[in-house]
């Protein structure tokens, strides 16, 4: 009986440790990373909306979402980089791809469009760069979707591991109950 009790305590302790670690991975790492990717996506969409509004209207107040989105983008990337080592390796590569594509979109479309409208004082509604900017931004959205997929996949695996840990713990409790009966 003593040997059974010690084994049950060790198994229960290991099961609780596994449950704690898997729960911490989901709640403390993956879900916050998922939130930051959504925040990054929103920040980039805000930038695109701000540039488009400015290009169509020529009114500087339309640029507010663009500049605010840039600040939000930096904050989201900083938060993601803090946990990127705890995410699948593909997430790090995909985050680099997203940031590179965002820089390219700003360099090839957003900044030139803002400069053109600022210099001419006229909306840029018929520029061929508008289609290029849209194509570049669509590519950026695809890269963000890939990053979101990385984190969603990691979350699914972590939740499965969490459920497995809970099942093991339930089994230990049932074994203890049967053994003590």
If pLDDT is split at 50, 70 and 90, which confidence band does 66 have?
A: very high
pLDDT digits (tens, 9 = 90+) for 110-131: 999 999 999 988 887 766 677 7
pTM over 0.85: no
What pLDDT score was predicted for residue 171? 84
> Stretch 86-96: mean pLDDT, rounded?
94
pLDDT digits (tens, 9 = 90+) for 136-148: 999 999 999 999 9
Q: Are 132 and 110 in contact (CB under 8 A)?
A: no
pLDDT digits (tens, 9 = 90+) for 148-174: 999 999 999 999 998 888 888 888 888
pLDDT digits (tens, 9 = 90+) for 41-60: 999 999 999 999 999 899 99
Supply 162's token pair. 């969490």
What pLDDT score was predicted for residue 181? 65
What pLDDT score was predicted for residue 153? 94
What pLDDT score was predicted for residue 126? 66
In sequence order, which residues have a C-beta less than 8 Å from that of residue 44 and are 6 or more positions away?
A: 69, 73, 102, 137, 140, 141, 144
Chain CA centroid to CA 135, Å: 22
If pLDDT is split at 50, 70 and 90, which confidence band does 175 have?
A: confident
Per the model's pLDDT, the better-predicted residue between 177 and 161 turns out to be 161
pLDDT digits (tens, 9 = 90+) for 14-39: 888 988 898 998 999 999 999 999 99
- The conformational region for residue 87 under phi > 0 = left, psi -120 to 50 = alpha, else beta, is beta
Residue 30: burial class (beta carbons within 10 Å; 0-12, 13-18, 19+): buried
Supply 1's token pair. 């009986």
Distance CA 159, CA 54 (A): 44
């Amino acid at each position: 009986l003593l040997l059974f009790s010690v084994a049950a305590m060790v198994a229960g302790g290991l099961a609780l440790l596994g449950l704690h670690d898997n729960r911490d991975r989901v709640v403390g790492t993956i879900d916050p990373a998922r939130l930051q990717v959504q925040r990054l996506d929103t920040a980039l969409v805000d930038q695109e909306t701000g540039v488009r509004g400015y290009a169509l209207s020529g009114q500087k107040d339309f640029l507010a979402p663009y500049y605010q989105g840039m600040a939000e983008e930096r904050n989201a990337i900083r938060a993601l980089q803090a946990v990127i080592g705890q995410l699948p390796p593909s997430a790090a590569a995909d985050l680099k791809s997203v940031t590179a594509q965002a820089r390219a979109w700003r360099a090839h479309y957003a900044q030139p469009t803002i400069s053109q409208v600022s210099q001419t004082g006229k909306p840029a509604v018929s520029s061929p760069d508008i289609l290029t900017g849209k194509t570049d931004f669509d590519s950026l959205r695809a890269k963000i979707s890939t990053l979101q997929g990385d984190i969603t996949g990691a979350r699914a695996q972590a939740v499965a591991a969490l459920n497995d840990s809970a099942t093991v713990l339930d089994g230990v409790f049932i074994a203890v109950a049967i053994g003590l009966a």
